[in-house]
Amino acid sequence: GAFTEKQEALVSSSFEAFKQNIPHLSILFYTLILEKAPAAKGLFSFLKDSDGVPQDNPKVKAHAEKVFELTRDSAAQLRAKGEVVLPDAISKHLGSVHVQKGVTDPQFAVVKDALLKTIKEAVGDKWSEELNTAWEIAYEELAAVIKKAMS
């Protein structure tokens, strides 16, 4: 896939904007996921026993950050070698975690929409279609690797 230097730069710089405000943006991310996929609440060990999304749980923030970080890394890989490759152990681990939780294909689209909206909030008036498309491609390529490991 042709992923340009510009696209990678857009993803990297907006990931930095995300990191500036993890407490707010990670809660937004979960909230958007749960709005569209309420059943997902019972899947997250750190959410299932609380009302809404716990605001001050470090696990909640760390897990959300990981998803954005993996997507940012995928953008870098797409630029460098045209494909996303996860180390074998990581891909097997992510495949088995998501199978075990019973994650479905439509839920991948829900997480994508939530991720794109969260990035939009993170960058404010620096948002553009080009930025959005770059995140979308990186996420889709990463999701494809995880889905393959799930199958």
Our finding on whether 122 is near ligand ISQ (CB under 6 A) is no
Compare residues 27 and 78 and give the one whose CB is closer to ligand ISQ: 27
Nearest distance, CB of residue 80 and ligand HEM, angstroms:
19
Compare residues 17 and 90 and give the one whose CB is closer to ligand HEM: 90
Given candidates 10, 34, 64, 84, which one binds ligand ISQ under the rule CB under 6 A?
64
CB-nearest residue to ligand HEM = 45
Report DSSP letters for the chain, one per residue: ----HHHHHHHHHHHHHHHTTHHHHHHHHHHHHHHH-GGGGGG-TTTTTSSS--SS-HHHHHHHHHHHHHHHHHHHHHHHHSS----HHHHHHHHHHHHHTT--HHHHHHHHHHHHHHHHHHHGGG--HHHHHHHHHHHHHHHHHHHHHH-
Q: Which residues bind ligand HEM (CB under 6 A)?
A: 37, 40, 43-45, 66-67, 70, 94, 97-98, 101, 103, 107-108, 111, 139, 142-143, 146
